[in-house]
Chains A and B, each alone.
Chain A
Amino acid sequence: MKNRSQTVAFLGLCTALALILAYVELLIQPLIPSIPGIKMGLPNIIIIFLLYRRGAASAAGVSLLRVLLVSMLFGNAMALIYSLAGGALSLLVMLLLRRLNWLSPVGVSVAGGVAHNVGQILTAMLLLETAELGYYLVVLTVTGIIAGVLVGLCGSLLVKHVPSKLRF
């Protein structure tokens, strides 16, 4: 990390990309028939990329910024709580799995996606004091796996094909 301003610029770019992906996800949401809470998790493409190219700190930083900014731009306070819980658990799981190096980026992405959903639902169960949401947990685990595979494949492509010159 020789050039500090280069690093800042690069991470800023990644944050912006994550935000755009979150926005795209919001736009295509009505096109896909779904139950509330089902999300592709497109911004996770960037997080996976950073996790493999830059390391834990960058991934964590951009992930946190992304959650805060997305909630401020498109959500509300309640959404922020769910997002933070989901994002934090997802990040934790992905950092751990990355370090253990058991899985491919696709596997890490799947685990992260499922963890995101689990974090959100558990938070909702606690806040609403209802076990009703257990059904969501089952459905969102399956959809989380599918979305995680797609996101992971995109992330892998970036990890592989983005010129390594960009690795400041």
Chain B
Amino acid sequence: MKERNGISKVHLRNDVVMIILLLVLAGAGALYLFAFRGSGDTVNVTVDGELYGVYALSEPRVEEIRTGEDGSRLNRLVIRDGKAYVESASCPDGICAAHRPVFRRGESIVCLPHRVVITVVTEQRADSPDIVA
């Protein structure tokens, strides 16, 4: 077995194979996590980047999100069956109302004309991991 710097070529090749395998595993894991994101339990609604309201996905409700100077801009947010969607909106494009119901963590519905963003999140846990050593 030929040795260079004390490291044989076979070992070196195996090293590379293992590292590639690990990277493939990590990539597959990332894809899996992205494709099968878990459900969120909460929707955050922001208007102009400011928090407008927080609603639990578990509680069915209809929320009229009124924005604009005189509150004439309307997005009717409906939460039903653990999903959130915009039932109707007074915005010109109607894209938000056409969006499919959201429930996965990270999914969102955006109403650009009204600057309303509805995002599914998981409520923050206080006991976040503190890995030291």
Check if A and B associate. Answer: yes
- Within 8 Å CB of A39, what residues of B? 133
B59 at interface by CB-CB < 8 Å: no
The answer to whether A96 has its CB under 8 Å from any CB of chain B is no
Q: Which residue of B lies closest to A135 (CB)?
A: B33
Complex alpha-carbon distance, A148 and B81, angstroms: 47
Main secondary structure of the interface of A (DSSP, over half): helix
**Nearest CB in chain B: distance from A140 CB, A:** 9
Size class of the contact patch on chain B: 20 to 34
**8 Å CB contact of A79 from B12, B19, B29, B133:** B133
- 14 of the cross-chain contacts (CB-CB < 8 Å) are A36-B129, A37-B131, A75-B132, A78-B130, A104-B8, A106-B7, A107-B14, A110-B15, A110-B22, A128-B125, A136-B129, A138-B26, A156-B5, A159-B6
Residues of B within 8 A of A (CB): 5-8, 11-12, 14-15, 18-19, 22-23, 25-26, 29-30, 33, 38, 122, 125, 127, 129-133
A residues with CB within 8 A of B: 22, 36-37, 39, 67, 70-71, 74-76, 78-79, 82-83, 102-107, 110-111, 114, 120, 124, 128, 130-138, 141-142, 145, 149, 156, 159-160
